C-alpha cells in the first residue's frame, strides 16, 4: 500500500492497489469486530464490553487511516469503480475517531459504555421489583391508567441522565474525527453518504416530509380527538400537542398499541393476529420460519442451517443481553443471524419480516467487493423487510393458514388506520432524531440545551410534548437506543418512504390490480426477480440507479404512501370536519 507521505504524483495503478489492499484489511477487521460485538450484545459483561471496544477501535483506526490516505488520489481520473470505493472510504464511517490514539481509545470506550448502560437499564421503583425495558414497554402498550403510564414513562428515563456528560464528550470527539477528514462536523459527514451534497440531502428530506405531512397532521388531529374523549381534558387537551405517555409506545414513535381507543365504529377487521399466532401454538422459531417462507416464495434460497443454530430468538434468563432486534452477517458471506427477544405477537411477527429483509439483502450482495457489501443507501436496507411486511395482508394470512377468510372490503378503514398508527405516525419521529443530532454536532443545540432542543423538535415535527416538566438535568434523547448506540436514524425515515415506493413497484411487477393496500406479493417470482436484481447491486452503484432498477424511478417519492392510504385520508377528512387541527410549536 502506498504511504501517505510519498511525494511523487500518484498513479491510477497505485490507487487500484491501495483500494484492493484496503478492502482486504477492512474485511478482516470487520469480521473480528462483528464477532466481538455479537458476544457483547448477547452476553453483556465488563470483559465483553472491553473486547468489543478494542475490536471496534481497530476498525475505526483503520477506517480513519484509510480515509485520509484515500485523499491522495482525489485529483486523478480513475475508473468509476475505483473512484466510488475511494469515496466510500471517506464517507462510510459512522464514527470517525481522532488520529490521536488516546482520544480514539476514549471515544470507543464511551461508545461501547453508553450502549451497555442502555442494555443494562432498569427502573427500580421504591418498594417494588426492578423492571427492564421489555417490562416497561409492555405496560406502555397495554395500560390505560394515565398515572401508571406516567410512572412507567418517567421510570425508563431514569436510565439516561448518567449518559449526558458521556454524550457531550462523544460529540466533541466524533466532531474532531470528522473534521480531520475534511467535514464540517459529524452530521455533515453522515449526510455526505447519500450520493449528493450534504445540504442537498437535507433539502431532499424536507421535500419528502412536505409530501406526507398533511396525512400525518390529519392522523394527529383524529387521534387527539379520540384520546380526549377517552381521557378527558386533564390528560389530553382537545387542541395543541399530544402528551407523550398515552400513545402506547415508550417513545411515542408508533401508536398502534392504542388502536382499540381510536378505532372507528364497525371497523373491527374480525381477527386479532396476536391471538391467532398464540392460538396456532407458535414458538419463536416458527415465527421466524413464516418470515423465511415468505422470501422463499419469491424465489430466494432458504436461510443456512447456521442461522438457526446461532441466532438469538429468546431472552436468556441467566444474563443481560441487548434485546433490540438486529440482523447480522458475521463473516460477510453466509454466517447470517438475527438477535431478538421474540414475543408471540403481531408486532414481532412484522419485525421478523423486517429483520429477515436485512438477512436476505446481506446474502444477495455477498459476491460484491467488500466495500460494495451494503445497501444502495441505508434507507434501502431498512426498507426491504418492511416492504415484505406490507404484504402481510389478510389475504396473505389466509394463504398461510392463519386466517380462515379475508374480511370484507368495508373493514379496510380499520386495517388502514391500524397500519397508519404504525407507519404514518412514525414518519416525523424518524426524521427528528437525526435533526437533533445534526444540530448537536453543529453546535446549534449546545450541551446546555440538549433536552430543550429535543423537545422543541418533537413539538415541531410530531406535535408531541412531555407529560411533565423536563429540565437539563434529564437526557431524554438517551432513552432511545439509537442515540447511545450511535446508529444513524434518518435511514428509518427513508425506509418508510421507500417501502411504499418499492411495494407499489413490486405489486405492478406481480400484475396486481386493485387497491394498493390489498396487494400481497407473496408467491410472485416476477416480483422476486425484480427485487433480487436490486439487492444484488449492493452499494456498487448510486442509489438512484438501484431505485430505477426496481421502480423505474430515480427520485424517492412519498406519493406511494398517499396512494396506499387514500381511503383512510378520505375517512380522516370526514371525521375531522369542524375540528381545530394542528398545533403550535417553537424551536429550530
| pLDDT of 182 | 85
Residues in the chain, how many? 588
Catalytic residue among 325, 485, 526, 566: 325
Closest-CA residue to 85 (of 98, 99, 69): 69
Quote the pLDDT of residue 256. 92
Asked if 567 and 412 touch (Cβ cutoff 8 Å), the reply is: yes
Distance CA 493, CA 428 (A): 8
Model confidence pLDDT, tens digit, residues 60-91: 889 888 988 988 898 899 999 999 999 899 88
User: Residue 5 above 60 pLDDT?
Assistant: no
Give the Cα separation of 251 and 152 in Å (integer): 11
Q: Which residue has the higher pLDDT, 106 or 92?
A: 106
69 torsion bin: left (phi>0), alpha (psi -120 to 50), beta (else): alpha
Count other C-beta atoms under 10 Å from residue 207's C-beta: 13
What is the distance of C-alpha 127 from the center of its chain?
A: 36
- Mean of pLDDT values over 109-134: 91
Q: Which residues pair with 326 in a beta bridge?
A: 339
From the candidates 353, 355, 425, 456, which is the catalytic residue? 355
Q: Assess whether 325 carries a catalytic annotation.
A: yes
Indicate the angle between helix axes 164-180 and 101-119, nearest 10 degrees.
140
Give the whole-angstrom CA distance, residue 452 versus residue 436: 10
461 is catalytic: no
Answer for the pair 171, 519: CB distance below 8 angstroms, yes or no: no
* pLDDT tens, position by position, 260-288: 999 998 777 777 889 999 999 999 999 99
10 Å CB burial of residue 189 (0-12, 13-18, 19+) is: buried
Catalytic residue among 193, 382, 496, 546: 382
Partner residues linked to 465 by β-bridges: 243
pLDDT tops 70 at residue 337 = yes
- Give the end-to-end CA distance of the chain in Å, rounded to a whole number: 46
Burial 570-588 (b: 16+ CB within 10 A, else e): ebbeeebeeeeeebebebe
Q: Exactly one of 245, 353, 354, 496 is catalytic; name it.
A: 354
Is 1's pLDDT higher than 50? Answer: no
User: What is the per-residue pLDDT for 4?
Assistant: 45
The most confident of 124-138, 321-335, 376-390, 429-443, by mean pLDDT:
429-443
Q: What does the DSSP assignment read for 519-587?
A: ---TT-HHHHHHHHHHHHHTTSS-HHHHHHHHHS-SS--THHHHHHTHHHHHHHHHHTTT---------
pLDDT band for position 586 (cuts 50, 70, 90): low
Distance between CA atoms of residues 278 and 462, nearest Å = 34
445: CB partners within 8 A, 6+ apart: 436, 439, 453, 588
Residue 392: per-residue pLDDT: 86
Instruction: Look over the chain and give the mean of its residue pLDDT values, rounded to a whole number.
Output: 93
pLDDT band at 3 (very low <50, low <70, confident <90, very high): very low
Annotation says 354 is catalytic: yes
CA 72 to chain CA centroid, Å, is 35
Average pLDDT over every residue of 497-524? 95
CB atoms within 10 A of CB 467: 17
* Residue range 511-567, pLDDT digits in tens: 998 899 999 999 999 999 999 999 999 999 999 999 999 999 999 999 999 999 999
Q: How far is CA 85 from CA 67, 305, 373, 502, in A?
A: 10, 33, 11, 27
Residue of 106, 141, 259, 324 with catalytic role: 324
Distant-in-sequence, close-in-space partners of 68: CB < 8 Å, separation ≥ 6: 4, 99, 180, 181
> Choosing from 492, 503, 546, 564, which is the catalytic residue?
492
- Contact between 210 and 562 under an 8 Å Cβ cutoff? The reply is no
Half-sphere exposure of 314 (CA within 13 A, CB side): 10
The string of pLDDT tens digits covering residues 144-176 is 999 999 999 999 999 999 999 999 999 999 999
Return the number of other C-beta atoms located less than 10 Å from residue 414's C-beta: 21
pLDDT tens readout for residues 191-240: 999 999 999 999 999 999 999 999 999 999 999 999 999 999 999 999 99
Catalytic annotation, pick one of 81, 172, 482, 566: 482
What pLDDT, in 10s, does the model give residues 127-140? 889 999 999 999 99
Q: Are 288 and 314 in contact (CB under 8 A)?
A: no
C-alpha to C-alpha distances, 559 to 95, 161, 411, 462, 490, nearest whole angstrom: 34, 40, 23, 20, 19
- With left for phi above 0 and alpha for psi between -120 and 50, is residue 138 left, alpha or beta? alpha
- Express as a percent the part of the chain with pLDDT over 90: 79
Catalytic residue among 220, 245, 353, 358: 358
Active site residue 15: no
What is the share, in percent, of the chain residues with pLDDT greater than 70? 98
Whole-prediction pTM: 0.87
Number of H helices, E strands in the chain: 24, 4
Whether 57 is a known active-site residue: answer no
240 Ramachandran zone, left/alpha/beta (phi>0; psi -120 to 50): left
pLDDT tier at 363, thresholds 50, 70, 90: very high
What is the C-alpha to C-alpha distance for residues 511 and 519, in angstroms, rounded to an integer? 10
Assess whether 230 carries a catalytic annotation. Answer: no
pLDDT value at 450 more than 50: yes
For 154-176, the three-class secondary structure string (H helix, E strand, C coil) is HHHCCCCHHHHHHHHHHHHHHHH
pLDDT for 456 beyond 80: yes
Are 462 and 437 within 8 A, CB to CB? no
Amino acid at each position: 500500500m502506498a504511504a501517505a507521505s510519498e511525494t511523487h504524483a500518484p498513479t491510477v495503478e497505485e490507487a487500484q492497489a491501495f483500494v484492493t489492499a484496503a478492502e482486504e484489511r477492512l474485511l478482516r477487521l470487520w469480521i473480528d469486530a462483528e464477532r466481538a460485538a455479537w458476544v457483547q450484545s448477547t452476553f453483556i459483561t465488563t470483559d465483553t464490553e472491553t473486547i468489543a471496544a478494542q475490536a471496534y477501535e481497530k476498525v475505526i483506526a483503520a477506517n480513519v487511516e484509510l480515509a485520509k490516505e484515500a485523499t491522495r488520489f482525489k485529483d486523478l481520473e480513475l475508473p468509476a469503480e475505483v473512484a466510488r470505493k475511494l469515496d466510500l472510504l471517506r464517507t462510510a464511517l459512522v464514527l470517525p475517531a481522532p488520529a490521536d490514539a488516546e482520544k480514539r481509545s476514549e471515544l470507543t470506550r464511551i461508545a461501547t459504555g453508553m450502549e451497555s448502560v442502555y442494555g443494562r437499564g432498569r427502573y427500580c421503583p421504591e418498594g417494588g421489583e426492578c423492571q427492564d425495558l421489555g417490562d416497561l414497554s409492555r405496560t406502555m402498550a397495554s395500560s390505560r391508567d394515565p398515572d401508571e403510564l406516567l410512572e412507567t414513562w418517567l421510570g425508563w428515563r431514569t436510565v439516561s441522565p448518567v449518559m449526558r456528560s458521556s454524550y457531550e464528550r462523544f460529540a466533541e470527539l466524533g466532531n474532531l474525527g470528522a473534521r480531520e477528514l475534511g467535514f464540517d462536523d459529524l452530521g455533515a459527514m453522515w449526510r455526505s453518504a447519500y450520493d449528493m451534497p450534504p445540504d442537498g440531502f437535507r433539502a431532499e428530506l424536507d421535500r419528502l416530509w412536505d409530501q406526507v405531512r398533511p396525512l400525518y397532521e390529519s392522523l394527529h388531529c383524529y387521534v387527539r380527538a379520540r384520546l380526549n374523549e377517552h381521557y378527558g381534558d386533564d390528560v389530553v387537551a382537545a387542541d395543541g400537542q399530544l402528551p407523550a405517555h398515552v400513545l402506547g409506545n415508550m417513545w411515542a414513535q408508533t401508536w398502534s398499541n392504542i388502536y382499540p381507543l381510536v378505532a372507528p365504529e364497525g371497523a373491527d377487521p374480525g381477527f386479532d393476529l396476536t391471538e391467532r399466532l398464540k392460538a396456532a401454538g407458535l414458538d419463536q422459531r416458527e415465527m421466524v420460519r413464516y418470515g423465511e417462507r415468505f422470501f422463499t416464495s419469491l424465489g430466494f434460497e432458504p436461510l443456512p442451517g447456521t442461522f438457526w443454530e446461532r441466532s438469538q430468538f429468546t431472552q436468556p434468563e441467566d444474563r443481560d443481553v441487548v434485546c433490540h432486534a438486529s440482523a447480522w452477517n458475521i463473516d460477510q458471506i453466509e454466517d447470517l443471524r438475527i438477535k431478538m427477544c421474540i414475543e408471540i405477537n403481531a408486532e414481532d411477527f412484522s419485525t421478523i419480516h423486517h429483520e429477515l429483509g436485512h438477512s436476505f439483502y446481506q446474502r444477495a450482495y455477498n459476491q460484491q467487493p467488500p466495500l460494495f457489501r451494503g445497501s444502495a443507501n441505508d434507507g434501502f436496507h431498512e426498507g426491504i423487510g418492511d416492504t415484505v411486511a406490507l404484504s402481510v395482508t389478510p389475504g396473505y394470512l389466509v394463504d398461510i393458514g392463519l386466517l380462515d377468510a379475508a374480511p370484507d372490503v368495508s373493514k379496510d378503514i380499520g386495517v388502514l388506520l391500524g397500519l397508519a398508527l404504525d407507519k404514518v405516525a412514525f414518519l416525523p419521529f424518524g426524521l427528528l432524531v437525526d435533526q437533533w443530532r445534526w444540530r448537536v454536532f453543529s453546535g446549534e443545540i449546545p450541551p446546555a440545551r440538549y433536552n430543550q432542543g429535543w423537545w422543541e423538535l418533537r413539538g415541531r415535527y410530531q406535535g408531541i410534548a412531555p407529560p411533565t416538566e423536563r429540565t437539563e438535568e434529564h437526557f431524554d434523547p438517551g432513552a432511545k437506543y439509537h442515540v447511545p448506540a450511535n446508529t444513524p436514524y434518518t435511514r428509518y425515515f427513508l425506509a418508510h418512504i421507500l417501502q411504499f415506493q418499492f411495494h407499489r413497484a413490486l405489486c405492478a411487477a406481480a400484475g396486481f390490480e386493485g387497491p394498493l393496500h390489498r396487494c400481497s406479493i407473496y408467491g410472485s417470482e416476477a416480483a422476486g426477480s425484480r427485487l433480487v436484481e436490486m439487492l444484488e447491486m449492493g452499494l456498487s452503484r448510486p442509489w438512484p440507479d438501484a431505485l430505477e432498477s426496481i421502480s423505474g424511478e430515480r427520485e424517492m417519492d412519498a406519493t406511494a404512501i398517499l396512494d396506499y392510504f387514500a381511503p383512510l385520508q378520505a375517512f380522516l377528512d370526514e371525521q375531522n370536519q369542524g375540528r381545530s387541527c394542528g398545533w403550535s410549536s417553537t424551536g429550530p
